[in-house]
Chain A
Amino acid sequence: MTDEPLLKVENLQTQFFTEEGTVRAVDGISFEVNEGEIVGLVGESGAGKSVATSSIMRLVETPGQIVGGTVTYKGTKIVDIEEGPDGQPRPSEEMLTDEEMREQIRGNEIAIIFQDPMEALNPVFKVGAQLREFIELNRDVGSAEAREIAVDMLREVGIPEPVKRYDSYPHQFSGGMRQRVLIAMALACEPSLIIADEPTTALDVTVEGQIIDLVHDLEAKYDTSFVWVTHDLGVVAEICDRVNVMYLGEIIESADVDDLFHDTKHPYTEALLQSIPRPDQTVEELEPIVGVMPEAINPPSGCRFHTRCPDARTVCREFHPTEQDVSEAVTATHRVACVKYESIGYEDARPLETEATDDFGSGLIDASGEDA
């Protein structure tokens, strides 16, 4: 079963049923994580990255609901939604129950490192006690042994004087130290997969570097796979093996990290890359992506990026692109969802720039239109 990926997400759909309408936060994403791999999930705020990760853990709360797709972890279906006889989505019989999910998957197989280390530790518990609680829960050890493991983990993630710090409260730690504790918590239960939800976003750059080094070391040591959620392409370049770029609930490009940076296919990825400084390219001025991401409650027709896409043509507004395999090498897959790579008349269509400005005449687009 070595060919089988550790985690396989197929056509995952999560929607939020709000009063204003249905928000399609995650709209049919598919990706895979192999053993020992760090897979990036990249996108702007509101792209659905965090909803995607909580869907994998089945932690989406009402009014949110997973309405379709399959998530297979080590051959077990942790999410498997099928259409019921009444047309409503319902869990299939193979899908784990909530009870099994909690006992078998959460913590001991898949763990999460949260975004904000200031918020993710319970302020009324000593950090050691929290660590121990999670270890006792997920590993078959007594409380004295769990304490030893907890102290070892604290030492492992670089907390000085772990025996003493075991009895400290979270407010007595700095941000970087707390993030280390959170990493210790995630690793302590020896999961095979860790979902890191923007773990370095709340940290300053010097600490970010240390944490990334730490993750690299630990990944090598424990052979843990990661899903690394971030909006920071710099971190992606440094840490990830494969990258999935998300836009409005969809994955629009998926490639090995080198291909993504040097053989960029999708205009959105291109625009993202142009909006950050890169050590390998010298430019006069950075180009931000115009406008803001539209609301997922009422996504644009056709290609969802066409309202902001510099390459958009009329056909982009009508045709919703599907993922195409554009890989040149046999070993690596490079998939992209863009009309450009489908033979449906992109070449003949008229550019869309002005119309886009009219259709979505937000202030931001207007302002940037004047600049251009």
Chain B
Amino acid sequence: MRNTTKRLLLATAVVAVVAATAGCGGSGSGDDQGGNQSTGAAGTKEVVLVTYDAYALPEGAAAAFKEQTGATIKVVAAGDSGAMLSKALLSAGSPEGDVLFGVDNLSAPTALKKDLLAPYSPPSLASVPERFRLRGAAGKRLVPVDAGDVCVNVDAKWFADKGVAPPTSLEDLTLPQYKDLLVIESPVTSSPGLALLAGTVGRYGEDDAFDGFWTRLKANGVRVRPSWDDAYFTDYTVSGGDRPLVLSYATSPPAEVVLSEGARTEPQSTVLVDSCAAQVEYAGVLRGAPHPELARQLVAFMLSPAWQADLPLSNYVLPVVDGVTLPAEFQKWAVRAPSPMSAPTEQVADRRDEWVERWRNLFE
């Protein structure tokens, strides 16, 4: 009797030890589960890019990067952009990778908290127009990589079939004829949602934005989804949903044609230019990155012609470096709003959380 019980406890201890060893072995020998410990054991160099779910690595450019540096890029996606940044901040100093990509102009002030990023400005930053660059401490840590304005997309075919004139301004979205037609993303979890929110504050002023525009929009039956994927692929009529107006990007119409792989010769959607809000995406080197040198090389490489030219067809965004040739679809259908809505940078830093709080009070 005594032996059996002792054996039981012993067995538990053995299982625990074996599991511990297995765990250690797993992080060292497997196909790089322990990517953040050191350079891969087998001698293959790797740089880890922390980003959001919807991000697609530009494969051609990544191959060029490997050719230049010998390092492959591993993508670690950590949820939508809000989740990505919160997670990065919660692990600040002990990051899950080397480079953080996907911070936008609205989350930039947050990305400066907790000393999340190491200062780095690549020499090629000079080739980026002033309007995309950040000033002050943010400008020393965050490098602009792409610009993709956030705009309401209109299913033109749906409106034509119904014989309803499509909306032509942001304010139109609050009119009764467009009731229950719009789906947007939540500013709490999604960067396009936040871009629109900040844009409306920039246009209407804080109080008028919430007490006016958003209150009217809510009354008009706007649907809110947690992420862009949900809104665009589930609810938008072009993807088989039931809402013909969706908050998406200025580049979504050309993306529609590219994604259809020849099934479409022109987009079904048009862009509601008046609703466009500015969005610029940035990359930065994570403090405590296991491979800081490769991290800096990758950030610098993101401004190279190879990377910039690959952006439209991989992530459906526009390059920030001047003089990059766009694919034909983008030349034809991509929209650059002449003056997209935006809130002043200093206001974003101070008031952004308050805006989100007010928005949540209104909608949740």
Q: Do A and B come from one complex?
A: no
Interface residues of B (CB under 8 A from A): none
Interface residues of A (CB under 8 A from B): none
